[in-house]
Amino acid sequence: MGKAIVITSGKGGVGKTTTTANLGTALALLGKRVCLVDLDIGLRNLDVILGLDNRIIYNIVDVAQGTAKLHQALIKDKRFDDKLYLLPAAQNTDKSALEPEEVKAIVEELKPDFDYILLDCPAGIEQGFMNAVAGADEAIV
C-alpha cells in the first residue's frame, strides 16, 4: 500500500513542482513505483517539467467527473520503465472542479499500485490546498 505525500507551501514560486518532479524521479531511479499527481488546476506545469505535456489526453478532473477511468489518465514516463507515472491537472478548468473527497478517493485508488503518490499542491491555502491535503498521509512544506 502506497504512501501519499503532499508537497506544499503557502507561497507560489518556491519550488513545489520542481521538488515533486525531482523527488519522484529520484524514487523511480531507486526502483520505487511513483505516481505524481498535479493538483494545480488551471496552472498545471508538472507535465512540462517532465517533458510529458504533449501526451495528455485525460486529466484528474476527467477522472473525478467520470469522463475517463484512472488508468486512461495516467501517463507513463517511458524513461523510467514501469516506475514513474503522471496524473495531470486540468488546464482549462476552474479550480472548483474538484472536491477534497474526490481527490482522496483517487489517491486511495492509486495506493495499491504505487509505493509513493506525490501530490503537487497549488500555491495558497484555498480550495486547491484543501484538495491536495485531503489525500495526503504526510506533507513536505
Average pLDDT, the chain: 94
CA distance 126 to 122: 9
Residue range(s) defining the domain that contains residue 48: 3-140
- At how many degrees (to 10) do helices 100-110 and 127-134 cross? 30
> How many independent structural domains does the chain possess?
1
pLDDT > 70 in the chain, percent: 100
| pTM of this prediction exceeds 0.85 | yes
Q: Position of cell 486540468?
A: 90
- Strand bridging mode 34-38 / 75-76: unpaired
- Tens of pLDDT, residue by residue over 65-105, are 999 999 999 999 999 999 999 999 999 887 788 999 999 99
The owner of cell 503537487 is: 120
Q: What confidence tens digit (pLDDT) does each residue in 5-46 have?
A: 999 988 788 899 999 999 999 999 999 999 999 999 988 999
Q: How far apart are CA 23 and CA 29, in angstroms?
A: 10
Strand intervals (E) in the chain = 3-7, 34-38, 75-76, 84-87, 116-120, 138-140
The CATH number linked to 115 is: 3.40.50.300
